[in-house]
Amino acid sequence: AQSVTQLGSHVSVSEGALVLLRCNYSSSVPPYLFWYVQYPNQGLQLLLKYTSAATLVKGINGFEAEFKKSETSFHLTKPSAHMSDAAEYFCAVSQGNQFYFGTGTSLTVIP
C-alpha cells in the first residue's frame, strides 16, 4: 500500500510570506499525486493534481506543487500567503481504486 507523509501538522506564516507545505510519498512506480484543502466544517476540495504531464503543477488560488521523483516529494507552495488560505491541507496518492491521504497540515496565517 502507498503511504503519504506530511511533515509538520501545524504551520504558521505571516500574511504575504511564502507558504511551504511538505509531502513525501512512498512508491516504487510514478504515482498520481493530489493536494486537497479543507476549510472549517467543509469537505475537501481539490487544489491541484500531478498526473505525469508536467513536474510543476499549478492549482487554484495561486498554489503550485513540484513533483520530484528523486526526492519522492510533492511539496505545496504559494509565494504570498493570504488570510483566506488558513485551512487544513492534505496530500494524497492514488493507486488503483484507492486514495491514500496524509495526516494533514493545518495552516495558520498571521496578520
Partner 1 sequence: NAGVTQTPKFQVLKTGQSMTLQCAQDMNHEYMSWYRQDPGMGLRLIHYSVGAGITDQGEVPNGYNVSRSTTEDFPLRLLSAAPSQTSVYFCASSRQITNTGELFFGEGSRLTVL
Q: 70 in helix, strand or coil?
A: helix
Q: Which amino acid is at 98?
A: Q
Q: Applying CB under 8 A, what is the total number of residues that bind partner 1? A: 27
Q: Which is nearer to partner 1, 51 or 80 (CB)?
A: 51
Q: Which of residues 23-82 bind partner 1 (CB under 8 A)?
A: 31-32, 34, 36, 41-46, 49, 51
12 binds partner 1 (CB under 8 A): no
**Cα distances (Å, whole numbers) of residue 77 to 25, 62, 74, 97, 111:** 17, 9, 10, 28, 19
Distance of CA 48 to the CA centre of its chain: 8
Contact footprint for partner 1 (CB under 8 A): 1, 4, 9, 31-32, 34, 36, 41-46, 49, 51, 90, 94-104
